[in-house]
Amino acid sequence: MNLSIFFEPLNEDVFASLNKPRTLGFYTSRFVSKFPDWRSADIALLGINETRGCNADAPAPTAASSAARAVRLRLYNLTKGTGRCRLVDLGNLRPGITLDDTYLRLKEIVEVLISHNTLPIIIGGSQDLEYGQYLGYEHLERAVNMVTVDSSVDMTESADATPNKKQLRQILMHEPNYLFSLGQIGYQSYLVEPEVMATLEKLHFEAHRVGEVHQKVQEMEPVVRIADLLTFDISAIRHQDAPGYQPANPFGLTGEEACQLCWYAGLNDSLTSLGIYEYNPELDERSLTAMTIATMIWYFVEGFYHRKNELDFSSKQFTKYAVAFNNDNPDRMLFYKSKNGEKWWLEVEPLSSDKGSRIVPCSYEDYLLAIEGEVPNRWIMTQARIG
């Protein structure tokens, strides 16, 4: 497929100086005059100048004022990490005539890239574009897991709400429904309606307040590790570390925590796309947000090249633990621990005999709970979703 027809090339004059040895810019093949060979790349960057999802009347950002451009200028100057690095930059996706057209274009791009084992990193645009990112998984014909990092939960029913405040409802209502799990990280209770949280609880989806992340960011690792796709609303980060969004919020994740989550996402063997949205360069004094996002991507890429490919639980890579219970549901619980690290998984049996069990990421704390006779909440929610 000729993907180049969907993209605008980058300005050669702007990025020509970003080829210093040992920087990411030096190791990234960019669409300037010739479209890069994305099939041989591990990761593909793409920008989107699409903001109609947050303001239908706003003029489209120009190439010179786009979020992706600001991030690229910072990202390409960062020193390359250890190991190999096969990155391409496809340029900026041409928006569709309508917002729905843009969703469908993004769907097609994501679908093609992940089908060829190239992981897309989407930069820029409003958060509703995660709907197009999600649609790119429809061809897989299997249930997928999604994680979103956001200070709010974009599921409003208000008719006059902008698309970037209700895209999660679009995802939940989409037919065919192939969403198995949704994890929400970093929400702030005073920004979310109680009815929305009740809906997430009814669907047995995980939701973690920003205070939980502050308390122990390591407990977010299993939440991220289950994801096939991850989306990041930059407004989840406190204004002091990322001022390039509105309305300003003095509370939220720190820049370090955002980078930690992106490191976990990069390490995730199952994750095949990342979207970072809602960055407005016009509000970004001294390009602080651009630097924060660039560093998040750096940690993601570094994590990607440290993947262990640990998905075969019948192999000798894992130690298997069985925890017995006195009651009948469950009568025992199986855990798997990687011999190459400290990652744990949990096998969940279905309620119905005609469905297979699922092995899902968990934490060491889940294992300790089971030893004490407590059934981990992660086990309960997964079994409820399996049915």
Domains of the chain: 3-304 (3.40.800.10), 318-386 (no CATH)
DSSP 173-242: H-SS--EEEEEEEEE-GGGS-HHHHHHHHHTT-EEEEHHHHHH-GGGGHHHHHT-SEEEEEGGGB-TTT-
Shortest CA distance to 382 belongs to which of 354, 358, 365, 352?
A: 358
| Positive/negative CA dihedral, 130, 151, 159, 163 | negative
Q: Return d(Cα 63, Cα 65) in angstroms, integer.
A: 6
- Strand-pairing partners, residue 92, are 8, 47
pLDDT at 352: 76
pLDDT at 365: 94
Q: Return d(Cα 280, Cα 123) in angstroms, integer.
A: 11
DSSP 37-67: -GGG-SEEEEEE---TTT-TTSPPPPGGG-H
Q: Return d(Cα 15, Cα 44) in angstroms, integer.
A: 17
Q: Return d(Cα 303, Cα 80) in angstroms, integer.
A: 12
Distance of CA 156 to the CA centre of its chain: 21
pLDDT (tens digit, 9 = 90+) per residue, 100-134? Answer: 999 999 999 999 999 999 999 999 999 999 999 99
10 and 19 Cβ atoms separated by less than 8 Å: no
Paired sense of beta strands 43-48 and 87-93, if any: parallel
Q: Return d(Cα 23, Cα 118) in angstroms, integer.
A: 21
pLDDT at 315: 80
Neighbours of 199 (CB within 10 A): 16
pLDDT (tens digit, 9 = 90+) per residue, 151-192? Answer: 999 998 888 889 999 999 999 999 999 999 999 999 999 999
Collect all residues with Cβ–Cβ distance below 8 Å to 38 and sequence separation of at least 6.
3, 44, 88, 90, 113, 116, 118
Q: Which residues of the chain have pLDDT under 70?
A: 56-65, 327-329
pLDDT at 63: 53
- Reported as type and span, the H/E element at residue 324 is strand 318-324
Provide the phi-psi class of 211: left if phi over 0, else alpha when psi is between -120 and 50, else beta.
alpha
How far is CA 251 from each of CA 76, 190, 254, 309, rounded to the nearest angstrom?
29, 11, 9, 36
DSSP 122-158: EESS-GGGHHHHHHTTGGG-S-EEEEEE-SS------
Q: Is 321 helix (H, G, I), strand (E, B) or coil?
A: strand
pLDDT at 108: 97
121 and 43 Cβ atoms separated by less than 8 Å: yes
318 and 338 Cβ atoms separated by less than 8 Å: yes
